[in-house]
Amino acid sequence: MSEQKLNPFEHYTDIFKALSDVTRLKIMWLLLSIDSKICVSEIIDVLCENQYNVSKHLKILKKAGLVYEKKEGKWTFYHYCGSTGYFEDMVKKAVLTIPEDKMVNEIERCKKRLSMRVDGKCVVGTESED
């Protein structure tokens, strides 16, 4: 609402900045790769990150307009915002060029975690806390 852009490049720099952090970049990679929504506890387990940091990083991605939030009961699901412009499209493609083998562990944990869903619905929270 009151988000005044200081300069006409803030949109672009915000997106680049959002992706300049490992955790956020991994989240984006996941979101783009699995091409479905994923809830916070799942991200926590997949990335082996703690709860509050994941939440904070998601907020930054959301503010940059990269992800979308959808509450479902106790859970909050996030997914990629989809094509909003040429720039975002190219950024998406850039993120997707990051090779899978840099994400092997995350991919494995993600498969495991998503397979725990019942009827496509997330039913369990976080196992591991660091």
Partner DNA sequence: ATTTCATATGCCATTATATGCATATGAAAT
Partner DNA sequence: ATTTCATATGCATATAATGGCATATGAAAT
List of residues contacting its own copies (CB under 8 A): 7-10, 12-14, 16-17, 19-22, 25-26, 85-87, 89-91, 93-94, 97-98, 102
Minimum distance, C-beta of residue 93 to DNA, in the bound complex (Å) = 23
Residue 12 or residue 68: which is nearer to its own copies going by CB? 12
* Other beta carbons within 10 Å of 3: 6
User: Quick one: three-class SS letters along 10-41?
Assistant: HHHHHHHHHCCCHHHHHHHHHHHHHCCCEEHH
Minimum distance, C-beta of residue 126 to its own copies, in the bound complex (Å) = 23
> Could you tell me which residues are beta bridge partners of residue 68?
79
From DNA, its own copies, none, interface partner of 97 (C-beta below 5 to 8 A by class): its own copies
From DNA, its own copies, none, interface partner of 91 (C-beta below 5 to 8 A by class): its own copies
Q: What is the dihedral of CA 33, 34, 38, 43, to 10 degrees?
A: -60
